Structure formats: structure tokens, C-alpha cells
Amino acid sequence: MITKSTLVPRVTQVCLQCQTEFTYSVFPSQKKPRKFCSRQCANQAQIGKQSPFRGKQLHNEKSKAKLRLAAIRHVEQTRGRCSPNIGLFERELLDAQEKIDNCKILRQYPLRSLGYFVDGYDPVSNTVYEVYEAWHKKTEAKDAERQKAIQAFLNCDFKILSST
């Protein structure tokens, strides 16, 4: 008796991960031969492989600024205006800093040519105020680059207010 299983050829192969021999059916729709005996071995083989872009800088500072500006323009065209996220303690910390420095801090001040919004800016004393909350611990290197760019652009003082 001829069954479906007798018509489909079977192939024996050695798994690239665990080196065990396995057999599988080759169907006409299958384009490539199998390399692994199971999904688990295929996943294990992927562990340790890295993206070819890992550790490489994909964009220079000029192209990053262009990307930020393009994103802001897109949001303004589709939604009417761009309003950045405000941190949980940002308002309270900037209000307290206004009383300490006896000044008026402009909130979410846009630096259009850099593509950044700073949490607060006092044009009289030329001081930028940034509120760093808990998640800023994960982005220290990026925040340092951003701070350098802002200070170079405005030639200003930079005060970091911490909420933690």
C-alpha cells in the first residue's frame, strides 16, 4: 500500500549544535535543508551571535541632529505641535529651583537647530536645567553627549536636578 509517508523522501543529517543524527522529511515546499534537530538547538546556536552593527556607530552627530529634526517636523505636521514628555517630579523640582535662584524658568524650551528640548531654561542667567529621574542612570553616556552639545550651542551653565 502506498501512503503519503512513503512518497516523501526522508533525509538523515547531523545537527550543527548538538552533533546528534536526526531524520526529517523533505517536502517539495521546503527550500533549504534543515541544520538543527530541534528549535531548541537552533535557538542555542543563535546565542552568542551578534549583530554586525553592534558596537559600531551608525550615525555621526550631524546625521543624528537631522534625524531628531525630521522626527520633530513629522510630529508637528501630523499632530499640530510637538510636546515632549514631562517627568514625574519635573514640575515640582523646577518650581523649587525658581524660588532658590529667584528666576523665571522657561519649561520644555526647544533648541530647534539641535533637535532637543531642555526641561528648563533661564535666558537671563543663560542656565539650562535638566531633571534626571531614575531612568537617566541607564542613559548616562547619551546624556553626557547631549549636555556637551547643548553647552557648546548655548555657551551656558548646566544644572542637573536629581529626583532620586
pLDDT at 86 over 60: yes
Residue 17 structural domain: 9-46
How far is residue 125's CA from residue 89's CA, in Å, rounded to a whole number?
Answer: 23
For residue 66, is it within any domain? no
At residue 8, does pLDDT exceed 80? Answer: no
Q: What percent of the chain has pLDDT over 90?
A: 34
3 domain residue, yes or no: no
For residue 21, the model assigns a pLDDT of 92
Whole-number mean pLDDT of the chain? 85
Residue 72 maps to a domain: no
41 and 102 in a single domain? The answer is: no
Average pLDDT over residues 50-67: 74
Q: Rounded to the nearest 5°, which phi and psi values hold at 13?
A: -140, 165
pLDDT band of 5, cuts 50, 70, 90: low
Q: Do both 90 and 155 map to the same domain?
A: yes
Whether residue 96 sits in one domain with residue 42: no
- Confirm whether 74 is domain-assigned: no
Q: 12, 20, 48, 16: which is closest to 35 by C-alpha?
A: 16
Does residue 128 contact residue 156 with C-beta atoms inside 8 Å? yes
In total, how many domains does the chain have? 2
